[in-house]
Structure 1
Amino acid sequence: MAPKITVIGTGYLGATHAAAMAELGFEVLGLDISPEKIEMLSAGNVPMYEPGLEELLRKHVAGRPGSSGRLRFTTSYEEVGEFGDIHFVCVNTPQKHGEYACDMSYVDSAFASLAPHLRRPALVVGKSTVPVGSAARLADLLAEQAPAGEDAELAWNPEFLREGFAVKDTLHPDRIVIGVTSERAEKQLREVYATPIAEGSPLVVTDFPTAELVKVAANSFLATKISFINAMAEVCEAADGDVAKLAEAIGHDERIGSKFLRAGIGFGGGCLPKDIRAFMARAGELGSPQALAFLREVDSVNMRRRGHMVELAREAVGGGFLGVRVAVLGAAFKPDSDDVRDSPALNVAGQIHLQGGQVTVYDPKAMENARRVFPTLGYAPSALEAARGADVVLHLTEWREFRELDPVALGEVVAERRLLDGRNALDPDTWREAGWTYRALGRPRA
């Protein structure tokens, strides 16, 4: 008989995991402490934009016509304890306020709330990104506080979701990592992931510390690669080189590869920045502060890109923003997402606004979230309206919609045809032929 699955925390990670587990054929119960969120999910709606997620949810949530009925939601830990054989913990681990370290309060609260309701053998599976060493501590907590005692086991199964591709990454992962301490736990997780394993997804079985380290190591590597090409953009600007051609050339080396080599205003979002900072903090706690010292420069290079884009914009409009109209295309930290957490695009827009610029923002999906974070910025219903009367246009999130813009049509509504491409994603020749002054980070002026 297939195990029954619960998912604790129904944010971005949890909602996706719950829907995917139902798609794989399991009976699933999702839990959140927010009644409003549970009501929304139970109605088949998701509180964030993620391609394909709402459709998948509606395919399985109980009570909807034609659904499988395999997916339900609750606010009751008691119900979760009675229902589930395998409990996935998917709560958030943000950066602590005023520190680099990870805030474990949500994870600790979830485990403390769940443990007293584990009265029979159960496997609790952590998916949240946590400091290495957390799993061992949480395993002890389960053994002490769960009525089932040692029959309440722990495993660690880090998530590798990319926003914009979360459904695909859950159903067809490029790897599955499980940290376990028993053959029983390994067998149970092999059953959960039997379908993707059969389709060819590699399974890596390891201990707790290694499983905890995989996610932060992967994110640190990606952040390093992005900051490397952005450092090369700084050098290219000083030497009058072309970072796009440089990236193309080194990307042909199979040891390097071409992915994540597009220079721009850097990375943001809810994972990479806080994960590399928490990793540095944890290395210091473990007595190895020098091992990850290079990540400080990775972080520094990344943050400098935002300020540099502001400087380029100021230069483009003659040295000051007072009375200048600035159009910002993009608010989300990346395309195919409505996530504005630590968004480079919004950071740049906010800096220019604080320096006196009249900033108008447009994003295909992130407008509501952007308004909540920066209510004093101007917002427009389309790229054309955002650009109307603008002295300079900044392309800061590489949505497909922006790549397909008509430079001639946009040129008819702006005050000045000046474009700064903060993502090196637009074709310079096309825009210059339409009469625009085109500038991108790390590339020649013409």
Structure 2
Amino acid sequence: MQGLLKLFSSKPVLPAVPDYDPVIRQLDDPEQVTIPLDYPGHIHYLPTVKVGDRVRRGQVIGRSRLGNCTLASISGTVRDITTAWTAQSVHSPAIVIDNDGTTAPPPEEMLDGPVPLGDPLGALARIREAGVNPPWRLSGRDYTDGTIANLPRIEAVIVTGIQEEPTILTSQLLLEQRADTVAEGLRRTRLLLPDARLWLTVPEQLFAWAETRFAEHAEIVTVPDKYGGRIERELVARLIGRRIPNRHSFISHGLIVQDVEYLVAMVEALDGKSPFLQKCLTISGPSLDQAITVRFPLGSSMRHILHSQGFNIEQFTRPVVGGPMKGGAQYSDLTPITYNSGLYLVAEDFSPFDPIAPCIFCGRCTRVCPARIQVHLINRMIEFDQIESTHHLHPEACHECGLCAYVCPAERPIVQLLHFCNHEMTIGERHVWSEGGQQ
């Protein structure tokens, strides 16, 4: 009966953060870090160390074919080069480093001084050497077969001062607390890419403040609190006036989308102050009185991050890396955290009243879809193994933003079905059509 009542319940309110601690808390080094080497479709590092090697914090331990580097985030001994499940549910090669108490070198000793402002090639080399590039934003993909394709000229740069997920506060806090460094990063970007159009996105309530701080370096764009207005692909389409297919990288269309955190890291790397070794992450959830943001060494386990704030995974039924809309639930608190910005903790969980509850064709999913696809029709076709029939409805346009599943009164696994469909049609056994639905 309770499940039936949910079918006719009002549209749920999207998750948000009612209160938060503005202080970014610095975590101690963990006893061990696990550094993944593979981000499928984005970048692949080859190890430059072997088991038993002693490494220092900031030392290169992996390098991609294009020279992008991943670094040791703590000093210690390479315990193993093995495989590990990442927060993205990828079984990746990984380097495990045990903290042996070795004193880490000062940050300024990790890099060879500042890079001259008029040296763009030197700047790119330093950014790669310092491990600044998040794999899914800038060039550095792993081209294992054939020659490396030339990337198009960069025509636009979008620096995001606000995250997609309303429960993640890392960008906003850094925007406010590191404003001078952000301004310098925008200025450096102008110097490196003088012909590119440059935007900075900010929360609506910070527009007047951001205008006085950053307007001389970038165009200021406000982003609403509502999740639908924060979806990255939709925001990009609004700014550049055209849509980039979901399975195309931004860089392949002459566009860079870079978070404020990496802009700050870029400045520190170019100034010779520090490589990118630590990441900020917001811990939030419906049972938490306030959201907490921490800074931790890359590759720290979820357990280390939770314990540092007095949490135990047993207190929660579902830890979600990312946010409630696009995040991925984790089965173990030993999952290494690297380029993730949010940890959403669910204390109470529920299951649909049916393993796959019947679709009542209410149309909520289709009405809320930012890509304007016929979600309910596509889902029913997938459910009854008619994947090829979805071709003309363009499921490949799906952002996997989660809005459809969130408003579904039957709590159907809508996003999972769409993800399965797109995977099968692009790289799976059913691969019969390509990007954009072309035969």
TM beyond 0.5:
no
Which of the pair is proportionally richer in strand?
Answer: 2
TM superposition score normalised by structure 2:
0.26
Q: Larger Rg: 1 or 2? A: 1
TM-score, reference length from structure 1: 0.26
